Structure 1
Amino acid sequence: MPVAPSGTTITTTTTGTMTLHTTTVPTGTARAVGAMDLALPATFEAFYTLHHDRYLAYARAHMSSTAAAAALREAFGELATHWSHVLRRPNPTAEAWEKLVRRVGRRAPALTAGTTSYVQYQVVVLHHLAGCSVNAVADTTGLEPCRVRYLLRTWSPPGRCGSSRIGADLSKTVPR
């Protein structure tokens, strides 16, 4: 069964031609009062499945696994809450990506990567630390693949002109 952003199991009920996806989410109170059932749109579940691992790799490049998982839960929780609004945006993928990047940025400082822009930094971390292909970076960030390629080509790593890696110390940040 797929796993919801909260870490709980999703159950699927099919009635006639309609399928309802239900997730049980703990209430989060100090004492266990019960649980509440939330219906997550299938589009959100698909988005979560597609992007979770890359989002986690980006977050883990900046913080511990525990902190990265917490940042992801918060980001996906925010996305789930505002999912219909996100889908109405011109580029829902970019909108969702920015929510994650803001969460990570609030919790951890940027790495020293020698980038010239905020977007180039994100592309470099996803490609060189998280090991994402150019197309995977584009799919994750909402950028066009040609822009991703340009940002990677114009990047000059600190202390290693023309190198294709951020550095040995940073490449160990994200487990493969």
Structure 2
Amino acid sequence: MTADLGFAAFVERNRPRYQLYAGARLPAESGPSAVVNAVPESVREGWEWLLRQPCPAADVWQELSLRAGRQADRTVPHEPTINSLYGQLPTGCADSVLLCRRLGFGIEEAAELMGAEPSTVEAALAFARRVLPHLAEEEHL
């Protein structure tokens, strides 16, 4: 029962932010909500196991990012800038840029959502600025 409540709280807290992320990566007609809804269903069975892992949020984020990426690969690009971002950067870096630069999350919130350390998100953003210098000049993607 406690694990079920913990799972429900985790999903309730993160679903709106997951929806923002999936909505930024995917066109509405390709089903960002379906991607977001599929993630809790896929981790529900293993929730107790996930709770024993070093960072459950990181495992859930990885599942979301993977599903969103697969769906993005099967759809017509809706925002070339975002597709280019994922084509030129490792996924974790692109996710950090999308969350912080496009969606306006702070470093701490993006790190918490991805199950990463804030220093990891900062390093990803610095790497992205080196690889894609125009990012430093753009207010939003």
Q: TM-score per shorter chain, which class?
A: 0.7 to 0.9
Give ranges in structure 1 of 5+ residues lacking alignment. Answer: 1-19, 22-39, 168-176
Q: Distance in 1 between matches of 2:135 and 2:11?
A: 37
Higher alpha-carbon deviation: 154-163 or 43-52: 154-163
Ranges of 4+ aligned residues in structure 1 off by more than 3 Å: 164-167
Instruction: Measure how far apart 1:139 and its partner are.
Output: 0.6
Question: What's the counterpart of residue 15 of structure 2?
Answer: 52
Q: Distance in 2 between matches of 1:117 and 1:159?
A: 16
Instruction: Measure how far apart 1:108 and its partner are.
Output: 0.7
Count of residues in correspondence between the two structures:
130
Q: 1:146 aligns with which of 119, 122, 135?
A: 119
Q: Which amino acid aligns with 2:83?
A: L
1:74 and 2:42 are equivalent in the alignment: no
- Alpha-carbon displacement from aligned partner over 1:84-139 (angstroms, at most 9, x marks no partner): 12112121110010111111111113621275422111111111222211111011
Secondary structure (helix, strand or coil) at the match of 2:104 reads coil
Q: Distance in 1 between matches of 2:137 and 2:58?
A: 28
> Residues 112, 166 of structure 1: CA spacing in aligned structure 2 closer, same or farther, 3 A cutoff?
farther
Give ranges in structure 2 of 5+ residues lacking alignment. Answer: 74-81
Which structure 2 residues correspond to residues 20-59 of structure 1 after superposition, within 5 A? 41-59=4-22
- Alpha-carbon displacement from aligned partner over 1:49-92 (angstroms, at most 9, x marks no partner): 22111111111112134601101111111121221121121211
Greater radius of gyration (CA): 1
Question: What's the counterpart of residue 76 of structure 2?
Answer: none
Question: What's the counterpart of residue 101 of structure 2?
Answer: 128
Question: What's the counterpart of residue 13 of structure 1?
Answer: none
Q: Which amino acid aligns with 2:137?
A: S
1:111 and 2:83 are equivalent in the alignment: yes
Question: What's the counterpart of residue 160 of structure 1?
Answer: 134
Q: Distance in 1 between matches of 2:83 and 2:61?
A: 18
Q: Which amino acid aligns with 2:119?
A: C
Instruction: Measure how far apart 1:158 and its partner are.
Output: 4.4
Q: 2:61 aligns with which of 79, 85, 97?
A: 97
- 1 or 2, which has the higher helix percentage? 2
Instruction: Measure how far apart 1:46 and its partner are.
Output: 1.2
Question: What's the counterpart of residue 63 of structure 1?
Answer: 26
| Cα-Cα RMSD | 2.4
Please tell me whether the aligned partners of residues 158 and 166 of structure 1 are also in contact (alpha carbons under 8 angstroms): no
Please tell me whether the aligned partners of residues 115 and 155 of structure 1 are also in contact (alpha carbons under 8 angstroms): no
Secondary structure (helix, strand or coil) at the match of 1:162 reads helix
